[in-house]
Amino acid sequence: MPAMEFFQSQHITEDNENGIKEILTYVNFNRTRNLSVILFSLNVIFLFIDYINKVKGLWVIDDNYKYLFYSHLVLGLVTLLYSLVYYRITDSSASDITILQKSYAIIFVSFILSLSAIISGWIDQKIHGQITVYVIICITIAVVYNYKPKIIAFLYGLSWVAFMILVTIGQKDSNIRQGHYLNASLLVVISYFLSTVLYKLKIQELMHKYYLENIVTERTKELQIANDLLTREIFEHKRAEEEILRLDRLNLIGKMAASISHEVRNPMTTVKGFLQLLKIKQDSRDKEYFDLMIEELDRANCILSEFLSISRTKSTMHGWHNLNDIVTSTLPLIQADALNNDKSLLVELNNVPDLQLDIQEIRQLLLNLVRNGFEAMSSGGQLKIRTFSSNREVTLGISDEGSGIEQDILEELGTPFFTTKEQGTGLGLAVCYGIVSRHNGRISVETSPKGTTFYVNFELSK
Ligand code: ADP
Ligand code: MG
């Protein structure tokens, strides 16, 4: 049978084998219930025929009619008992159901086979000269039950022995006796083969089922993996698109800034110069106004400088520097800032490899992020500066203990002039994004109501 070989050559796991056993036990168990109900119903007809036989007076003529009635009585009681017991067993817990189910079904089969062997071998063949009952039951058992060939051989063998003994004792006519011997033996052999073939087909069907199930599981797993990959790629793609959009905005504004800032700065320098001159000539009364004007001009100049630095697109000369050195050299400035703002500072510098960096720009980046961190916290808060590296990148982390950044603000970070502060310029982060993109790096933000961390990742060149 090529199909059989095909499925056997497939990998059927131990789980599958146990599954097949369980299914077969379950099928045998349920069929016993059905068979007992059917036989009980049929038996009502048999008993009715027995009654008619009695009325006709056959019981007096031949004792065997009486025995037939008794055997029907036994059949009726046992099948009734089996129908009732079924519901008790199904109530029991799942762990001990298997052994109960097994014995429930096997005992029934051996009972039915033995009873039919007795009816045919002892009673029926004497009344009608037939062994029909035994034939019907043997074939029925072969078709209905899925038992291993060993068990089937045992059950048929048992009933066959009973049949043989009863015929030997009961049948005086040696010709008829020989005929029954032969018929019963043939019957048992044929039933055995029928049963075995059907059993193998059933096993094959179940194996096929598991084979298909295994394939489906495998394919589903593969699809799941593919799906995960795709989702990740879509996510990456979206992130890249956002990044491009941000850089585009920077670029456009940068170009405008470059042309305008230059034009505005020149007249401002002139105005500042004259203000300084006038300040000397004026009364001390108005002096503070001049100071204020000059201060404001300085502030405007600072904003313009920052603005200009966004526009720088060509990368400046990058020498090899260590990030830790740049942080350390900027630290005094940051510490003064912390002191002024009543904030504390924690610095954790781990060994990191050198990178191609523009010192001025990295210092600017650090100051901008640190300043935002200080501004996000109320006094007493602690700011943490960390550097660390993996084998793919070097990371600068700046964490504050502020109240975090809302989602809609998060999406706007880095957009020039976007600020939530009254005195803010909204240029700090735009400058940072510009600097980091010129260094082929990446900024990521982690935020929660307990604080925010800005990570700046610099790729290690391979
Ligand atoms: P500015 O500081 O002048 O407002 P930035 O570009 O530096 O401009 O920052 C833009 C906005 O991003 C800030 O107004 C603030 O709302 C938000 N932001 C930046 N850093 C932080 C931070 N560490 N915690 C909370 N919000 C922040
Ligand atoms: Mg800022």
Phi-psi region of 426 (alpha: psi -120 to 50; beta: other; left: phi over 0): left
Ligand minimally distant from the alpha carbon of residue 425: 1
In whole angstroms, give the CA distance from residue 423 to residue 300: 12
Structure tokens at 411: 């999406």
pLDDT of residue 195: 96
- Centre of ligand 1 to C-alpha 420, Å, is 7
In the reported structure, the alpha carbon of residue 261 is separated from the centroid of ligand 1 by a whole-number distance in angstroms of 23
Residue-level pLDDT at 311: 61
For residues 170 and 121, the answer to whether their CB atoms sit within 8 Å is yes
- Distance of CA 363 from the midpoint of ligand 2 (Å): 14
Cβ-Cβ contacts under 8 Å for 426 (sequence gap 6 or more): 415, 416, 417, 418, 419
433 contacts: CB under 8 Å, gap ≥ 6: 246, 247, 250, 414, 443
Q: Which of 462, 442, 444 is nearest to 454 (CA)?
A: 444
Domain boundaries, the chain: 3-221, 317-459
The vertex-165 CA angle with 159 and 168, nearest 5°, equals 135
Probe target for ligand 1 pocket from 382, 419, 431, with the most ligand atoms within 8 Å of CB: 419
- Residue closest via CA to ligand 1's atom 21 equals 372
Q: Which stretches in the chain have pLDDT values below 50?
A: 1-6, 8-9
Distance (Å, rounded) from C-alpha 4 to C-alpha 207?
9
Structure confidence at residue 389 (pLDDT) = 95
**At 243, which amino acid appears?**
E
Query: 111 exposed, middle or buried (CB, 10 Å; 0-12, 13-18, 19+)?
Result: middle
**How far apart, in whole angstroms, are the C-alpha atoms of residue 445 and residue 454?**
5
Mark the residues whose beta carbon lies below 5 A from ion ligand 2.
372, 428
8 Å CB contact between 449 and 404: yes
Q: Domain 317-459 is of which CATH architecture?
A: 2-Layer Sandwich (3.30)
**How is residue 353 annotated by DSSP?**
-
Q: Phi and psi (nearest 5°) for 451?
A: 150, 175
Ligand with smallest separation from the Cα of 421: 1
- Nearest CA, atom 11, ligand 1: 419
Please give all residues whose beta carbon lies within 6 A of any atom in ligand 1, as ranges: 368, 372-373, 376, 400, 402, 405, 409, 413, 418-421, 424-430, 452
Query: Per-residue b/e over 75-92, b at no fewer than 16 CB within 10 Å?
Result: bbebbeebbebbeeeeee
pLDDT of residue 2: 47
Q: Which residues pair with 441 in a beta bridge?
A: 458
What is the predicted pLDDT for the residue at 170?
87
Q: What is the DSSP string of 317-343?
A: P-EEE-HHHHHHHHHHHHHHHHHHHT-
Kindly give the distance from the C-alpha atom of residue 419 to the centroid of ligand 2, in angstroms, as a whole number.
Answer: 8
DSSP state of 449: T
User: Kindly report the CA angle at 169 between 164 and 174, in degrees rounded to 5?
Assistant: 80
pLDDT at res. 254: 72
Choosing from 407, 423, 429, 455 the residue with most ligand 1 atoms within 8 A of its CB, the one to mutate for a pocket test is 429
Q: Closest Cα to atom 18, ligand 1: which residue? A: 372
The atom number, within ligand 1, closest to the CA of 423 reads: 3
Phi/psi region, residue 404 (left: phi>0; alpha: psi -120 to 50; beta: rest), is left
Integer CA distances (angstroms), 18 to 10, 12, 204, in order: 16, 10, 14
Given this model, what pLDDT does residue 312 score? 64
For β-strands 355-357 and 393-399, DSSP reports them as unpaired
